[in-house]
Amino acid sequence: MSQTNLQLPIDTRMRDKAKVAAARQGFSSLQEMIRVFLMQIVDERLSVSFIERPVALSKKAEARYQKLLAEKSDERASSSVDELVAELGT
């Protein structure tokens, strides 16, 4: 079996936290965890996706946003992107 080394520069603190997480999940090493992860991706048993978390607005920002939406639904459209950005900034 031909092998190669994968070198990945990461922050030392992240590596240390990942080692602890790997050990908690029963892996003997961070390398073992990464090998299992990669094999599952290759075998298409695991799919990775990135989901953006919703933004939580402050009460003041939420009120301003709702007011702007109400104005826009009343057919008061911005004439340009720059105008819309200016309106959002006020």
| Mean pLDDT on 83-89 | 76
What was the pLDDT predicted at 1? Answer: 74
Dihedral in degrees, nearest 10, Cα atoms 57, 60, 62, 65: -120
pLDDT, tens only, 10-34: 999 999 999 999 999 999 999 999 9
What pLDDT is recorded for position 83?
A: 79
pLDDT of residue 74: 61
What is the phi/psi pair of residue 62, to 5°?
Answer: -65, -40
Helix (H/G/I), strand (E/B), else coil: 54: coil
Residue 15 is predicted with a pLDDT of: 96
pTM, rounded to two decimals: 0.53
Cβ contacts of residue 49 below 8 Å, gap of 6+?
Answer: none
Query: How far from chain centre, in Å, is Cα 58?
Result: 21
Interval 40-81: pLDDT, tens: 999 999 988 889 888 888 999 889 888 877 877 666 667 777
